[in-house]
Structure 1
Amino acid sequence: MLIRLVTALVALTAGPALAADWPAPVQAMADQGLTIHDAFEAPGGLTGYAASYQGQEMAIYLTEDGEHAVVGNLVDAEGNNLSLAPLERLVRAPQDNQLWQDLGNSHWIRDGDTDAPRIVYTFTDPNCAYCRQFWEQTRPWVEAGKVQLRHIMVGILEHDSPRKAVSLLAAEDPSAALIANHHGEPVEWLETLPRKWEVALLENHQLFESLGFQATPSTLYQRDGLVEAAHGLPEAGQLSEVMGSEEPAGTGQ
C-alpha cells in the first residue's frame, strides 16, 4: 500500500523566523512545542501560519485583532481545503527536499544506468525475499535505462543480515555483488567487518528508523516534487507510479 510520507526528524534547509517575530497567540503555541515555519495570506481577515509538530504539518489562523488563534483547516463554501497548498509549499516541500538530500547522502548501492532520468531509493536487507521480488519487478524499467534504483542497505531480518549488508557495501564492485546476491549466486561474505562500513550501516539504520519504517523493502520516490513512500511490494497497478511510468514496451515480465 502506498502511504503519503510524513517526513519526521529532518531539519529544514532554512530555519523559521525568530520567535520574537510571532504574534503572542502564535508564540504561545510555539512555546508548547510547535515549530512555526512561516506566515501566509488567508481570507476573511485571517493571517495563516504554517506550523508542524513531530513532522506533521498543521495550519494556525490568527484573528484580525491579533489576540486569538485557531488551529485547523480553513474550508471555503465549496468545501475546498484552503490550508493544503500553503502547508505543502511552506512545510512539506522544504522537508521533502531535505529528505531527498539525506537519502542521496546515505550509503547505497547503485542498480541501473547512472544517467537514468528517474531515481528511486529502496531500503534493502540482503536476506529479504520481498526485496528480491521487488528487484525482479523493476527489471523492465532499470534495464531500459529509465530508472536507477539506489539500494540503501540495512541488516534487520536475520542474525547475519548486518554482516551481509556490510559485505555488499564494502565489495570491490557493490553493484555486481548485489545482483549476484539477488540471483542466489555465491558472494564473498566478510568475516572481519571494516569499521568504516559498520558505521555506514549504522547510519542507514538510523535513517530507516527515523522515517518510521519497520520492514523491507521500504521505497521512496518523487511525485510532483514531493517524496512518497511505498511499504513492501507495490500492489498491482502501483508499481508504475513508483517507477514514474508504465512498463517500457516490449520488455514483458
Structure 2
Amino acid sequence: MLPVSKKMALWFGWTGFVGMGVLAAGIWTVDLLGTAHAQTNPAAAAANYRPLVDKLSAGRATVLSTFAGPDGLTGLVVGPANGAGPKSIAWGIDGENGPVLIPGPVLDSQGKNLSQQAAERHGVIPKPMAGGKLAQAMLAAPGFTVGTKGPLFTVFLDPNCIFCHDFWTKAYPLAKEGKLRFKVVPVGFLKPSSLPKAVTILQSKDPMAAWAQNEASFNVKTEEGGAKPAKVLDPKVLAEVKANTELLARTGEVATPTIVACLKGDKTPQVFHGMAPGMLTDLGRGASIKGDGTCS
C-alpha cells in the first residue's frame, strides 16, 4: 500500500487509454517525500502487468516497456498490440489482490504532470506544441465549425467519447444561440469504431449535422456514438482523421475533449484537457482565436 501525506501526487482524468478504450476517473494520492523510485526488474515488471493490460484492452494493447516511477509506482509504456498506432503512458502498482493499473495522468504536489514528463522522456510524445501554434494547426485542420457568432475556440472530439458527449450537449445549444462558436477537429482513438465513425462523419455532405446525429443517438451505457461506419471510407479523409489524432498527441495528452481557447485577457490561446465546471461560461466571455495563433 502507498503511504499518504500532505505532499501528494494526484492521479485523475478523463483521458482515453490509447488502444484500450478504457476511461479513468478518480484521485490517486502518492507520498513523494523522500521515497526512492521503485527499482523493478523491467522484464519482470512487464510480465507482471502485461496480462492485466491485455485483459482490459481485449487484446488490443500491450506493455512495450517499463520504467521505475515515484513512490513504488511502475511506469508502463503501452501501445497497440499490432504495433500500428500511438503509444501511451500508464502506471502500475502491486495491490493487495494483484496488480492495479492507473491509466490517467499523475501530478505531483507542485502540479507537474509526471505522465507527460515520462511520455517525453521515453519518446512516447514530443514536447507539447505551444497554444498559439496548436490553435493555428487546428484552424487549418479538417473539421467543421459550429455556430456563427460569439468567441471562437477549437476542440478535439472522438465520436465515442462520453465526456465529448457531455461537452456537445452543453456547448451545441449555446452555439445555436450565438453565444459561442467552436471548430471541431475529429479524431478517432478511443475504440476500434472511433476512427471509422469519425471518417464517416467527416466525409458526409454535412459533417456538423452528422456529428449532431451521432450525439443525439449516443448510447451513454455503452459509451458509443450513434454513427454507423460507412462501408467505404474515403482514403483521403481517413488520412486526415489520422493526422488530426497525431495533432492531438502534440498537446501532451491523447485525451478528449481537448480545448484550445482564449479566455478573457489572454494574448495567446490556452490548452485545456477536459471541460471544467463553468468553463463554457468563461469561453463565452472570452476572445476568439485568430488564424495567426493569437487572441482577438
Q: Could you tell me the TM-score, scaled by structure 1's length?
A: 0.54
Q: Which runs of 5+ in 2 are unaligned?
A: 1-11, 13-129, 219-225, 287-296
Output the CA distance in 2 between the equivalents of 1:135 and 1:153: 13
Output the CA distance in 2 between the equivalents of 1:174 and 1:240: 26
Output the CA distance in 1 between the equivalents of 2:275 and 2:202: 23
Judging changes above 3 Å, is the alpha-carbon distance between structure 1 residues 99 and 230 closer, same or farther for their aligned structure 2 residues? closer
Q: Establish whether residue 176 from structure 1 lines up as the match of residue 209 from structure 2.
A: yes
Partner of 1:232: 274
Count of equivalent residues: 150
- CA RMSD between the two structures: 2.2
Q: Retained in 2: the 8 A contact 1:103–1:121?
A: yes
Q: Which runs of 5+ in 1 are unaligned?
A: 2-94, 246-253
Superposition pairs of residues 2-13 of structure 1, within 5 angstroms: none
Q: Deviations over 1:85-141 (max 9, x none)?
A: xxxxxxxxxx5443322111111122222xx23111111000111111111111342
Q: CA deviation at 1:188?
A: 4.7
Output the CA distance in 2 between the equivalents of 1:140 and 1:175: 13
Partner of 2:240: 200
- Give SS of 1:181's match: helix
- Give SS of 1:138's match: helix
Superposition pairs of residues 44-193 of structure 1, within 5 angstroms: 96-113=131-148, 116-184=149-217, 187-193=227-233
Q: Deviations over 1:16-72 (max 9, x none)?
A: xxxxxxxxxxxxxxxxxxxxxxxxxxxxxxxxxxxxxxxxxxxxxxxxxxxxxxxxx
Q: CA deviation at 1:228?
A: 1.2
Rg: which structure is higher? 1
Partner of 2:255: 215
- Give SS of 2:262's match: strand
Output the CA distance in 2 between the equivalents of 1:191 and 1:225: 45
Q: Retained in 2: the 8 A contact 1:120–1:243?
A: no
Q: CA deviation at 1:162?
A: 0.3
Output the CA distance in 2 between the equivalents of 1:179 and 1:213: 25
Q: Which amino acid aligns with 2:269?
A: V
Q: Which amino acid aligns with 1:99?
A: L
Q: Which amino acid aligns with 1:226?
A: T
Output the CA distance in 2 between the equivalents of 1:99 and 1:241: 20
Q: CA deviation at 1:206?
A: 1.5
Q: Which amino acid aligns with 1:119?
A: L
Partner of 1:74: none
Q: Which amino acid aligns with 1:142?
A: A
Q: Retained in 2: the 8 A contact 1:119–1:148?
A: yes
Judging changes above 3 Å, is the alpha-carbon distance between structure 1 residues 230 and 243 closer, same or farther for their aligned structure 2 residues? farther
Judging changes above 3 Å, is the alpha-carbon distance between structure 1 residues 243 and 164 closer, same or farther for their aligned structure 2 residues? same
Judging changes above 3 Å, is the alpha-carbon distance between structure 1 residues 154 and 133 closer, same or farther for their aligned structure 2 residues? same
Output the CA distance in 2 between the equivalents of 1:140 and 1:190: 28
Output the CA distance in 1 between the equivalents of 2:275 and 2:142: 22
- Give SS of 2:165's match: helix
Q: Which amino acid aligns with 1:168?
A: I
Q: Retained in 2: the 8 A contact 1:124–1:151?
A: yes
